[in-house]
Amino acid sequence: MSLQPGMFVAELDRPWLETPFSLQGFVIQNTSEVLYVSKYVDHVYVDAEYKGRPVFLNLTLEPTADQGKKRLEIKEDIAHARICFDNAANTLDKVYDSLRSGRNGDFEAVQESITPLIESVFNNKEAVAALLRLRESDDYRYHHGISMAVWAAILGRQIGLHQDELETLALGCAMCDVGMTQLPGDLLSQPQALTDQQLRIIRAHPKMGAELVAQNKNVNIEVLAIIENHHERADGSGYPRGMDGTSIPVLARIAGLVDAYDAMITPRPYAPARTSHEAIQELMDGKGTLFQESLVEQFIQAIGLFPTGTLVELNSGEVGIVTRQNETRRLKPEIIIVLDEQQQERDPCIVDLSMQDSSNERWIARELLPGSYGVDSEEYFI
């Protein structure tokens, strides 16, 4: 039987991560999509009795040459995104200072500063993702909120949220930890494990944050829901109310996922940074329990297994930096090799891991933490 519009593709003849398709399956809408699918697989498995919510390919999400949308070089996009990021972080810094001193925060200014970052995600999400991997993390609280906003916008774009929904999501993520401004400063920087009493104090910050932001009558109620519920978990193990499943607002579910991811890849007083690959594995382990399964899968589709800007070591011993994703072969991105087989500096060389002679094939052996072998990834992008 040939593939026809209206059919639900449930399984492929190869791993989902080696294709650009949604991991949970999708509905074929027209003959163009039949041809598109045939470019990447030989056979598919159709579920004739599928009754769930339809998921579509959304082939028009990526800009095309016919639409006249040309991306800037990644260096230029990263430079622009850095300006936007720093402006948003500085604005959020001022809001935190105001709230800490008992004054009102200028939440409208935060919204205005985040909007250009969302636009950068649409222009070149790889450049923005690279910036988040390259950024310095001298103040986790402020940068974490803006980073959450960006990761959430990347995921929101992937699942087809509208512009107004993305702006609401990004603002809510940026403000998720404003309740921390009402907690003792030494508690937030404590390197040792928290006591049960200290944990109870920390876990009050979502509700406190929502109450703070609610004092501004112009703030969208969905923003408040994101702030209050971003630590709720799908299996009911979260806080402050122990909500579960679809009772958690969908934007809060997204916020909870990207909050966990960014926290894992960022160094904190009580925990070292983990690699993106390790963080993704943690999300996969929590799929269907802590986090909504489809959101985890779509997030991985959006950022890739090795996000742009990631430092990697190859099977040859060479060290490189991921410079561009491969949408169809996710384990084989484009990289720039900066260290040779003995991990010594060499003239940079760009290699597309998907386009190699089989007699001398390279592949990613492992992901490295930023700064490994003394490599400053930023100098190759900025």
Mean pLDDT of 144-152: 95
Task: Return the pLDDT at 59.
Answer: 46
pLDDT-derived band at 14, boundaries 50, 70, 90: confident
Q: 230, 240 in Cβ contact below 8 A?
A: no
Closest Cα partner for 180 from 148, 144, 155? 144
Closest Cα partner for 155 from 130, 178, 129, 136? 129
The tokens describing 199, both together, are 């944990």
**Mean pLDDT estimate for the chain:** 85
Q: 157, 121 in Cβ contact below 8 A?
A: yes
Structure pTM? 0.79
Q: Is the pLDDT of residue 68 over 50?
A: no
Tokens 């260096």, residue located: 75
Q: 349, 337 in Cβ contact below 8 A?
A: yes
Q: Is the pLDDT of residue 304 over 70?
A: yes
Hey, where are the domains in the chain? 8-60, 74-303, 311-380
For the stretch 282-297, pLDDT in tens is: 999 999 999 999 999 9
> What fold, for 74-303?
Hypothetical protein af1432 (1.10.3210)
Mean pLDDT of 197-201: 92
Contacts of residue 103, defined as CB under 8 A and 6 or more positions apart, other chains included, come to none
Contacts of residue 91, defined as CB under 8 A and 6 or more positions apart, other chains included, come to 106, 109, 110, 112, 113
d(C-alpha 357, C-alpha 372), whole Å:
28
Q: 63, 119 in Cβ contact below 8 A?
A: no
- Please give the radius of gyration of the chain, using alpha carbons only, rounded to the nearest integer: 21
Please indicate whether residue 6 or residue 358 has the higher confidence score (pLDDT): 6
Q: 25, 48 in Cβ contact below 8 A?
A: no
For the stretch 231-259, pLDDT in tens is: 999 999 999 999 999 999 999 999 999 99
For the stretch 163-177, pLDDT in tens is: 899 999 999 999 999
